[in-house]
Amino acid sequence: MDDKMKDFKYTLRENKPMAKSSFDKTQEAKYEGIFPLKYFINDRKVDFNLNKETPWVLSCLKQLIGHLDIDDQTQALEESRLELNFSLTKKYKHEYGDVLILQGELELSFTTYCVKSLQTMNESLSLPINCCFLHQSYQEKEEFADIIEIFVDGNIFELFFYNDLSVDVKACIDEIIEVNKSPYPTKVDETSHEIHNQPPTTTKQ
C-alpha cells in the first residue's frame, strides 16, 4: 500500500468517530433525569447507581431543603444524601405498546424543620421503587382516570406516563419523595424517645 493510501485511511478514522451505542446515550441521559425511549432496546435492562454527584439528583435535594433559611442551606446540602439504585427496562405489551419499567431502591436523608420546635432535624426515607410508564395517551382515557397502579408481568407498579419522546425519571422521583416524606416532621428526643413539647415559636432556637 502506497503512502497516499495510508494517509487516506488514517484521515477517515480520525474524522469519523464511532457512533455512540444506546447504552452510551442512556448513560448520558442520566445526568438530566430525562430518558429518551428510543435509546432503550426491548427487554434489555440498564442499571443506574446515582447520588448527589449527578446534577438532577442534586436538584432533588435542593428542592427538599429550599424552604430552609439561607444560612442553614449550605450545611444541610452537605449533610443530606439521596442515593438511587435502579434499573430501566423497555418492554412491548400488546395492550399498552411500549412501556418502561423502573425498579430499584431509594435512600434519602435530608434536613428540615420540626413543626413543633422549629429546630432543624433530619428526616430519612428508605423505599423500594416500582414504577411503570405508559404513553401519555392513556392518561386521557376514562378507564385510567382513577388508576394509580398497574399490573404488568405478574407485578404491581405505580403508574406514571411518558410523552412521545422521553421518560421524566426526575419528576417521578420528586413525586415519590413528596408523597412519602412526612407532612409534619417532628423532632424526637434521642434519649427519651418522646416528642418535644415546646410550643411553636416565630424564630428558630
Is the pLDDT score of 41 beyond 70? yes
Is the pLDDT score of 89 beyond 50? yes
Alpha-carbon distance values, 183 to 123, 130, 186 (Å): 11, 22, 10
Please give the Cα distance from 169 to 55 (Å, whole number).
13
136-154 pLDDT per residue, tens: 999 999 999 889 999 999 9
First and final C-alpha spacing in the chain: 82
Out of 12-26, 30-44, 52-66, 100-114, which region has the weakest mean confidence (pLDDT)? 12-26
23: cell is 447504552
The structure's pTM equals 0.78
170-191 pLDDT per residue, tens: 999 999 999 999 999 998 765 4
